[in-house]
Amino acid sequence: MNPTAPAQASTAERKPSDYRSGRKPVWCPGCGDYGVLNSVFSALAEVRIDPDRLVVVSGIGCSSRMPGFIKAYGFHGAHGRAVPVAVGVKAANPSLDVLLVGGDGDAFSIGGGHLPHVARRNMDLTYVVMDNEIYGLTKGQTSPTSQPGTVTKASPYGSSEQPILPVMLLLAYGATFVARGYSSRPKELAVMVERGIRHKGFSFIHVLSPCLTFNKPVNFDYFDSKVLPLPEDHKPDDLFGAMKLASDPDKLYLGVHYEVDRPSFTERLYPGGVRPDPEPAIDTEALIRRYS
């Protein structure tokens, strides 16, 4: 989303509660996603997004139910396909604001093939991935971010696979905004989401958001012991520095790891980042000449 060409941000002042749909979230008590939802409300209010011009897109999973809880247009689609749907919405109508939400299985496993492409396109989207290191909706199987040795019904002898490093991955894919937040630090997370929304092009926010029902060992205490702020001397445009920080599986740095300015997809597609209005007419005679 591009602050220089916001058909999106309205001037009217907004409150976080303006974005509540009134539908009660279906999440378990204690789920990290409640905190994420509140941070999203705050960020939307801070940017003063017009709910009628906002589209929240998700795939399938516990966290993917989020569009239903936000007062906006929403698209709760198919497992792993949130990214393509969001790309389609934004490319077809760049004057809409598009927020992507979902979980680690949706984003990194079934939908993992879409991440490099949405990043390299620098599509004007903000993707908030809530990572609980487990498949919760299907009642607990390992996800691409599960720790080695994780015992589930589908991995009764403990998972033998290495987890991926989401921040590292997105840095390698060429994303222009990569951050990590934590659902138990909602204010910090809200600022990150807000910055992501204001960022021109693709912004990715990896959010630690525990599942206390199906991944009990990876709870708030677990994350509390692993998170730490980014080193003060880290520069957000230092790609290799960011990669070094992201490569340590035991230290989960919180903050904006990386942010650079690159032309966005819609900016390259449409002059000024908006669809021309009125729409130019088809040059019929030129087409006839081309084919005769």
Q: Least CB distance from residue 276 to another protein, whole Å?
A: 4
Q: Least CB distance from residue 36 to another protein, whole Å?
A: 17
Question: Which has the closest alpha carbon to 263: 74, 122, 56, 109?
Answer: 122
Question: Which has the closest alpha carbon to 57: 89, 13, 25, 16?
Answer: 89
Nearer to another protein, 95 or 213 (CB): 95
Nearer to another protein, 18 or 238 (CB): 18
- Which residues of this chain interact with another protein, rule CB under 8 A? 21, 23, 51-57, 60, 67-68, 71-78, 81, 83-93, 95-96, 113-114, 116-117, 121, 269-270, 275-277, 279-284, 287-288, 291-292
Nearer to another protein, 30 or 88 (CB): 88
Token representation of residue 31: 């789920």
Nearer to another protein, 126 or 146 (CB): 126
Q: Residue with structure tokens 């996603």? A: 33
Q: Least CB distance from residue 119 to another protein, whole Å?
A: 11
List, in sequence order, the alpha helices (H) in 126-209: 166-172, 186-198
Q: Least CB distance from residue 100 to another protein, whole Å?
A: 11
SS (H, E, C) 56-123: EEECCCCHHHHHHHECCEEEECCCCCHHHHHHHHHHHCCCCEEEEEEEHHHHHHHCHHHHHHHHHHCC
Nearer to another protein, 96 or 130 (CB): 96
Quote the DSSP letter at residue 17.
G
Q: Least CB distance from residue 273 to another protein, whole Å?
A: 12
